[in-house]
Amino acid sequence: MKPYKNKINRIRSFALSLIFLGVVIMYLGIFFRNNEIIMLIFMVLGMISILGSVVVYAWIGTLSTRAVQIKCPNCGRHTKMLGRVDMCGHCREPLTMDPSLEGKEFDVAYNRPSAKKDSTKK
Ligand SMILES: [Zn+2]
């Protein structure tokens, strides 16, 4: 089994983990209630984490409108894909929008042809 997952599903689970992280951080803050400053830092960090997940969820919303809904050739269910290559959200079948990549080994790098240029700019 390859480690790649459907991108939208992956971002969604990331947003969900941010909420849990925020709750855990705020919960940890309760243990420091004797020290108001530390407790406040934990609370603020927790809030930032939860707000971050809200931002990520909003981002998923805009991504979903751009995502192409296709029928998976492997399991026959409908899934949304992003970029040139993505995985089916149900069976992890590699999917591609680019006919020239068809039949090739799945590689997430196909989505970022200019990734190296971007990293050198910074
Ligand atoms: Zn599928």
Listing DSSP states for 57-108 in one string gives HHHHHHHHHHSEEEE-TTT--EEEE-SSEEE-TTT--EEES-GGGTTSPP-G
Distance in Å, CA 9 to ligand 1 centroid = 13
**Per-residue pLDDT reduced to its tens digit, 44-97:** 999 999 999 999 999 998 988 889 888 988 899 999 988 888 898 888 888 888
**Per-residue pLDDT reduced to its tens digit, 9-27:** 889 999 999 999 999 999 9
Residue 116 has pLDDT above 90, yes or no: no
Q: Classify residue 116: in a domain, yes or no.
A: no
Q: Classify residue 44: in a domain, yes or no.
A: yes
For residue 28, give its domain range: 7-101
Q: Classify residue 12: in a domain, yes or no.
A: yes
Q: Classify residue 121: in a domain, yes or no.
A: no
Distance in Å, CA 35 to ligand 1 centroid = 52
Confidence of residue 5 (pLDDT cuts 50, 70, 90): confident
Distance in Å, CA 70 to ligand 1 centroid = 10
